[in-house]
Chain A
Amino acid sequence: MGMNGMAKFSPRLFLDFLSTRKISLTILTILFFFPLLTPSRYHVTVLTEIFVLALFAISYDLLLGYTGIVSFGHSAFFGIGAYVFSILLRNQTPFPVAILATIFSGVLLGLAMGTFLTRAKGMTFAMVTISFAEIVRLLFERSRELTGGETGLFVPRPLFIKSIWFTYFGLVICALLIVLLCVVIVRESTRKDGINRVKASYFIFLGVFLALLIYMVPQKLSPLLEGSYIIVSTTNVYFLALMSFITLYFIAKRILNSPIGRILVAIRENEDRMEMLGYNVFKYKLVSMILSGIYASIAGALYAIFLLIVTPTFLEATFTINALVHCVMGGVGTLIGPVIGAGIMTIFQRIVSSYIGRLWMLVLGIMYIVIVLLLPYGIVGTWKLKGASVKKTIRRLIRSKTMFSRHKQTQKD
C-alpha cells in the first residue's frame, strides 16, 4: 500500500500526467503570465473578475448541475461571505483567520438553507430560497451599525496583497510553469511516434508564445517591480484570484469524481431510486449545499477584495441570476461550462456596456431568450452532443477537398 502510494508520485508518472494534460498546462502558464503580457491593467482586472465570478458559477453548478437543486438564494452565500470577510478584516483580523471564518459562515448558511430541503422540494424550494435571500439582503441593509447600510463597507486590503513579496511568489510560479512546459516540450519532441500535424501546430503555438514572453516580459517586469502600490496590488489580487480559482477548481473536480460526486449525480437523475437503494438523500443534498456554500462564500470574499467595497447589492438576486446564466450558457452539469459562461458573459458585458451603457440590461434580457433558444444544452453540452459529428463533418470536408485537388492533378497529368 505504502509502496504503491509512493509509486504514484514518482517523477516519471508526474511528467506523463503533464504530457497528457499539456493543453491545460499551456493555458495555466498563459494565465499566470497574463499580467506580464497584457498592455493594460484593465485587462488584468477583467480577468480577475472572471475568475471570481467563475468560482461563484461553479458553486452554483455544484447545486444546480450536479445535485439538481434549483436555488435562488445563492447570492446570500456570496454576500454573507463578503460581509463576514470584510468586517473581520476591518477589525484587524489576520487574513487566514478571516478566510476560515468566511468558510465557516458558508457552512452555517448551507446548513440553514439545507433545512428547507426537508420541507420544500423542486420549485417550491426555489421560491422559498428567493424569499430567504431577500430577507437576508434586507437584514443586512437595515443593520447599519454593522454593515454600513446601503453605502456598504470599505474593505481594507490584507497586508500580503500590498506587499511585493506576493508578486515575487506569483512570478516564481510563472517561472516554474515555464520550466515544466519546456520539459514537456522536450519529452514530446523526443518521443518515438514522430510528429503529426496536431503536435506540430502545438509546437508552433508554443514557440510564438515563448517569443512573445521574451519580448514582453522585460518591458513589463521592471515597471511592475518598481511600480506603484496600485500596480502591485492589482497584480497580487489577480494572482490571488487565479490561485484560488485553480485550487478550488481541481478540488471540485476531485470531489465530483469521487463516490460522493457520483452519488450526487445519481440523486439528480433519480432521487427516489437513490432513496430506495438505501442512500440518505437528504444527507448528500446537505453535503452538496454546504460544499456549494463554501465555494460561494470564498468567491464573495474574493470579490470584496477585488472591488474594495461590500454593499447590499452583493446579496441581490442579480448575482444568482448571473450565475444561473453562466451555468446555462456554458453547460449545466459540467465543471468547465460555468467558467466558459462566466468568461464570455463578463467580456461581452464589458464590451457592450461600454458602448450602450444602461441599455445593456435590455441586451442581457434578450440574450437570456436567445441562449435558451439557440443553446439549450449550453456550449459544452452542445459540443458533447454534436462535437463528434462536427469533427466528422470537418474531416469529411477536408478529405473531399484533398480528393478534389488530387482529382484535378490527375486530370492535368
Chain B
Amino acid sequence: MDAIFTLIITSIIDGLAFAMLLFLIACGLSIIFGLMGVLNFGHGAFFMLGAYVAATLFEYCQNFAIALIGAGLFGMLLGLILEYSTLRPVHGKHLPQLLLTLGYLVVSTQAVLLIWGAVPKLFYPPGITGSVTLFGLRILLYRVFLIFFGIATAIVIYVILTRTRIGIVIRAGAEDSEMVEALGINVKRVFTLTFGLGSALAAIGGAVGVPWLGANPALGTNYLFMGFVVTVVGGMGSFKGSFFGSILVGILHTFTAYFLPQVTFLIDFIVMAVVLLVRPGGLSGKWG
C-alpha cells in the first residue's frame, strides 16, 4: 500500500514536471498556429537547438542561468531571422509553410549531428540536482524546479497576453488578423515577433529539459510530436488550452509509463481521440 502511494506521488510529480516541458513546447506551437495558421514543424528544431546551445554554454561557463538565457536568446534570434527571411514571403499558403518548417527541422537535425555528433549531451546544474526526503518520500529536486519554472513561465506569458498591448494584439490577431490589420496595426511585424517569442520559449524548454532528457538529435522530432498531441488536446491556438492540455497529457503519459508500460505509445493517441470525440475543438472548445 505504502509503496503504491509513493509511486503515485512520484509519478504525479514526474508527470507535472513532464507537463511543464510539454507546455513550453506546445504553448508557442499553439499561439503560432492560432495567429499565423502555420503548422510549425520547425518548433521541434528550436527545442532541440535550445538544448544543445544550453549544453554548450554550460560547458564553458558552468552557469545554469546563463545557459538558459543564452538558449532563449538564440531561439529568439533564429526564429526572427527565419520568419523574416523565409516564412514571410509565403504568408498565407499552408502547404509551402509546412514544407518550409519541415525543412528547418531536417536541416537543424542534420546540422546538430554534424556539429555535436550523435552522442547525447548532459549537464547537471549545481544546487538543484540531487534529492530531498520528505515524509519518507525521495523527491528529485530538479523535477520540482521544473514544475515551478513552468508555472512561473505560464504566469509571465499569461500576463503578457492579457495585460500588455502586444499581448492584446496577438490575441486579436488570432481571432481575425485581417481586422487587426484594418485597424492600422502592422500584423506582419506581430507575426515575426510572435514567431520569435514562440521559438525562444521552445528553446528555453529544450534547455531546461537537458538535465532530464539529455540533448540528442531525436529530441526535435519526438517532442514536436508530443507538442502536436497537446495542441490538439488543448485546442488549436489557445493558451489556456495548451497549459491544461499539457498537464493532462503529461500526467497520463507518466502514469501509463509507470503502471502500464506496454501501452505508453498508445496513450497519447487515445487521449487525443477521446478529447476529439467529446469536444471536437479540444479542451478550450474552439473548432480548429
Tell me the A residues contacting B by CB distance below 8 Å: 64, 70, 116, 119-124, 126-128, 130-132, 134-135, 138, 321, 324-325, 328, 332, 359, 361-362, 364-369, 371-373, 376
Contact = CB atoms under 8 A, between A and B. Distances in A.
A362 B106 CA distance: 7
A324 B272 contact: no
Contacts of A359: 110, 114
A116 B277 CA distance: 9
Interface residue tally of chain B, by bracket?
Answer: 35 or more
Main secondary structure of the interface of A (DSSP, over half): helix
A119 B265 contact: no
27 contacts: A121-B287, A124-B232, A127-B229, A127-B231, A130-B225, A131-B225, A131-B229, A131-B268, A131-B269, A131-B272, A134-B225, A135-B265, A135-B266, A138-B266, A328-B96, A332-B95, A361-B106, A362-B114, A365-B102, A365-B106, A366-B107, A368-B99, A369-B107, A372-B86, A372-B100, A372-B103, A376-B90
Interface in B83-106: 86, 89-90, 93-100, 102-106
Interface of B: 33, 37, 39, 86, 89-90, 93-100, 102-111, 114, 225, 228-229, 231-232, 236, 265-266, 268-269, 272-273, 276-277, 280, 282, 287-288
A127 B276 contact: no
B110 A362 contact: yes
B100 A124 contact: no
Contacts of B280: 119-120
Contacts of A321: 102
Given A122-B288, A128-B232, A131-B228, A371 B99 contact: yes
Contacts of B231: 127
Nearest to A136: B269
**Of B108, B110, B111, B229, most A-chain CB atoms within 10 Å:** B110
Nearest to B96: A372
A368 B99 CA distance: 6
Given A128-B276, A131-B272, 13 more contacts: A120-B276, A128-B273, A130-B228, A134-B225, A134-B265, A135-B266, A138-B265, A328-B99, A359-B110, A368-B100, A368-B106, A369-B103, A373-B86
Given A123-B39, A373-B86, A365 B266 contact: no
> Which 6 A-B residue pairs are closest in the complex by CB-CB distance?
A365-B106, A368-B103, A365-B107, A362-B110, A369-B103, A124-B288
Contacts of B109: 361, 365
A113 to B, nearest CB: 12
B99 A365 contact: no
